[in-house]
Amino acid sequence: MIVVLDFGSQYTHLIKVAFDSIGVPTEIVPADLKYRDYVRDGGRQLKGVVFSGGASSVKLNEIAFDRDWLETGLPVLGLCYGHQLLASLYGGSVGKEQSEFGDTKVDVLETGELFAGVEQRQITVWMSHNDSVLSVPDAFRVIARSASGAIAALEDPKRRLYSLQFHPEVSHTESGTAMLSNFALRICGAQPAQKWTPQAFVEQRIPEIRAFVKDRRIIVGLSGGVDSYVMTKLIRRSVDKDQLVAIYVDSGLMPTQTEFEVERFCADNDIHLQIIREADRFFGDLTGVTESFQKCKVIGKAFIDAFEVVAKQQRAEVFAQGTIWSDVVESGVTKFSSQIKPHHNVGGLPERLNFDMLEPLRYLFKDQVRKIGAYFDLPDYVVHKKVFPGPGFAIRVQGEVTRERVALVRQSTEIVEDVINNSPVSRDVWMAFSILVDVPSLGVKGDKHVKNEQAIVIRAVESTNSMTANFSRKVFPYLAEISKKITDQMEIGRVVYDITDKPPATIEWQ
């Protein structure tokens, strides 16, 4: 067992996912948990400790870390914030030098134990930090530096202490899983057990769902996204047909084709479906709401109110939704995490609900959900469904949400998707969409001066699980066609392309 002390990183759960992929059991605990309490509460036979990244600064000393974790003699691996904390605890200094975000070149100076098997002397890693280690603690040695000269990796093999300024747990870091494997297997001596597989997950979850639901009726929120499709299929495999009703809420904020796909999915999988028309309610509640966090809360409440009405009609006592871990962690609900944005199905939920909540995919990431969908042999339109936000086009409209403004962003998004989805790069693009922004600009149409009151931003990213993303360069050959169609077919005179990675940006603008 390897324990991960969670200092609030957006990527902490990805550390567990990486260790799961090599078959090493992992447990995540709050960073301020005392070692004696962990042992007293039945702590497993530990082989090593990982300090995660975090949103705070080591210099602020905001998290009460128990140094007894360092007295155990167990191998320790610090990542990002954990790298800086480890250096600070052993006498090094941490301060502001040069921020680094996204893809960063790192020179491997010494192979050491962490980089065993990593053949390249320069690798691309994923950075996300403001502070850096400025001076090296005694007995530690620098084994990697970034192109800027920042200390990227440290080790003290005699005391089995290791640290990386970058994030080996994210897919963008070259040989990242190999580094974590080196720590777990070579340094800690952990023995691989069962690796995570979609089959093992399904076989474990089905009896758990049956035990939770029992003979009660259950409604599921079927939004038309891959998470809700896979969740609904999993529950259908777990309960009798007449126990389950899928609910699609027509909020007026969704893509045109979603309702048709939902109807097709339920017909193909022998699932009862009820469609609720609530567009007037959603647009009414959003009147005058301009702030994005508040939009999510308004939309979350409107969804839950609709589900509660249906639950009463259906005499259902259980409600299921397709929440996944990226929704949870970005909503800032773990102990030391920072709220990036409130997801409508997490941060937008009311405190009290009139039914029991079931979220069978809560601790998974999007790529794992897709693997389960493939295991279920679900069709391509489900497994490879492009990601779409639960609040719909409301968070792709800057300012107040109206039917007219939603119609604009819907039409422009359909143009973007039509071009990209019919191109050879479709499978490489995680999301491709448009955002309507209130940015005035000058223009000329028909030899006349015009003032454009709004602009369309095109956003296309490549990702594995939404936690990190690169803006897509592969769509460059198609941007001119997209811009031409938008400006020809719509009352839009300015189209721009967003070339920002996540981090420092989020994928969505709101």
Where would I find the H helices in 239-336?
A: 258-268, 279-286, 292-314, 325-330
Is the four-CA dihedral 501, 503, 506, 509 of positive or negative sign?
negative
What span, in angstroms and rounded, lies between the C-alpha atoms of 485 and 479?
A: 10
The two three-digit tokens of residue 445, written as one number: 């149409």
Residue 412 annotated in ligand binding: no
Q: Specify whether 172 is catalytic.
A: no
Phi, psi of 236 (to 5 degrees): -60, -35
Residue 228 annotated in ligand binding: yes
What span, in angstroms and rounded, lies between the C-alpha atoms of 47 and 79?
A: 17
Beta strands 76-79 and 93-108, pairing class: unpaired
Q: Specify whether 203 is catalytic.
A: no
Place of tokens 């994928």: 507
Which one from 80, 188, 266, 296 is the annotated catalytic residue? 80
Residue 224 annotated in ligand binding: yes
Residue 438 annotated in ligand binding: no
Q: Specify whether 155 is catalytic.
A: no
Residue 128 one-letter amino acid = S
DSSP labels, 194-255: PPP-HHHHHHHHHHHHHHHHTT--EEEE--SSHHHHHHHHHHHHHS-GGGEEEEEEE-S-S-
Which one from 83, 167, 172, 343 is the annotated catalytic residue? 167
What pairs with residue 106 in β-bridges?
A: 123, 146
The two three-digit tokens of residue 390, written as one number: 């639960």
Is the bond preceding residue 504 a cis peptide, omega within 30 degrees? yes
Residue 375 annotated in ligand binding: no
What span, in angstroms and rounded, lies between the C-alpha atoms of 190 and 184?
A: 6
The two three-digit tokens of residue 504, written as one number: 């420092």
Residue 9 annotated in ligand binding: no
**SS3 assignment for 428-441:** HCCEEEEEEECCCE
Which one from 13, 83, 129, 169 is the annotated catalytic residue? 169
What span, in angstroms and rounded, lies between the C-alpha atoms of 110 and 150?
A: 15
Distance of CA 190 to the CA centre of its chain: 28
Residue 317: count other Cβ atoms within 10 Å of its Cβ: 15
The two three-digit tokens of residue 170, written as one number: 């994210």
Residue 312: count other Cβ atoms within 10 Å of its Cβ: 11
Residues in the chain: 510
Residue 225 annotated in ligand binding: yes
Would you please indicate which residues are annotated as catalytic (active-site) residues? 80, 167, 169
Residues annotated within a binding site: 223-229
Residues annotated within a binding site for ATP: 223-229
